[in-house]
Structure 1
């Protein structure tokens, strides 16, 4: 069954609920007891509010029945000027989450459609994401594919 979702750009005033959903999302990822106490929710709330306010990050929210039930975040990453090609930015996509009750009802698709429309309109060269195993099929349905030119150097904490 598909539910009707409203998707809108997040505002700084949404920071508290976005922080709460972020903490829920990460707790689901751990699938059990975390090894350390959670950081204060207010840290995430302030971080999100500051970045939405200054435009450093964008986020889209899915709502059903007036309740926020999902979100996706985008951070534009500038590229160095190049004398022979365009230096259009890339977009780093993260924190894609839909509440369990709204999964597989269209909220994730609605969020990704809004993200893709915006990204095409502003002219991003590429969008990048590190998907979870669970979300990878959804990303692939929207055209995301394994990188051909990306290398990473992970630093163990």
Structure 2
């Protein structure tokens, strides 16, 4: 994988949690999420990110330009029981794929995804999932992702 000139790749650390959260907030805002809900989820999400980066439940990678993070992506590692589709208990959930608007169109999201998928393979993961935005869907389809029969129910807080 070769990044465009001037860009560098590095793993995310706990010190990057605030930056990852800012990208996450921008991602949800770009996808049309309610701004008040994005703001309400930001602090609890940041706390989760710090803990997950610390204990290894989340791994992230970042692309920088002149010392500033311009793109990133991560994976939450999940332990689930074996199933007919996959015997390994480790699964991967890709999230927080974000490229700053001024860096879009260079294939950075695809490069981030290829790195994360290589890590999944190295860990023996057979089942990788994600939720795609309309803008991201073509990239994921080209990488082999397909829609599934997953369903969702949102419960109201009690």
- Under a length normalisation based on structure 2, what TM-score does the superposition of the two structures give? 0.82
Q: C-alpha separation between the residues in 2 aligned to 1:35 and 1:108? A: 27
How far did 1:106 drift? 2.6
Q: Within 5 Å, which residues of 2 pair with 1:82-101?
A: 86-101=87-102
Query: What does the per-residue CA deviation read over 1:54-75, in whole Å, with 9 as the maximum and x for residues that have no partner?
Result: 1111111122232111111211
**Residue 91 of structure 1: how far off its partner (Å):** 0.8
Partner of 1:151: 150
CA contact 1:7–1:62 (8 Å) conserved in 2: yes
Sort the Cα spacing of 1:105 and 1:90 in 2 relative to 1 into closer, same or farther, 3 A.
same
Counterparts of 1:58 and 1:52, CA distance in 2 = 6
3-state DSSP class of the match of 2:47? helix
Please give the per-residue CA displacement for 1:78-122, whole angstroms capped at 9, x wherever unaligned.
22257xx83342211112111101111132122112101111111
Q: 1:153: Cα distance to partner?
A: 3.7
Structure 2, unaligned runs of 5 or more:
none
Q: Name the CA shift for 1:134/1:20 in 2 (closer, same or farther; >3 Å).
A: same
Q: Which residue of 2 aligns with 1:114?
A: 115
Deviation at residue 45 of structure 1 after TM alignment:
2.7
Contact kept? 2:31, 2:133, Cα under 8 Å:
no
Q: How does 1:117-156 map to 2 (within 5 A)?
A: 117-147=118-148, 150-156=149-155
- The whole-number CA distance in structure 2 between the counterparts of 1:111 and 1:133 is 18
Quick one: structure 1 residues 122 and 41, their matched pair in 2 at CA, closer, same or farther if it must change by over 3 Å? Answer: same
RMSD after superposition: 2.4
CA distance in 2: counterparts of 1:81 and 1:17, whole angstroms: 35
**Whole-Å Cα distance in 1 between the matches of residues 38 and 136 of structure 2?**
26
Relative distance call for 1:45 and 1:121 in structure 2 (3 A) is same
**Which one of 9, 16, 27 corresponds to residue 11 of structure 2?**
9
TM-score normalized by the length of structure 1: 0.82
SS at 1:87 equivalent: coil
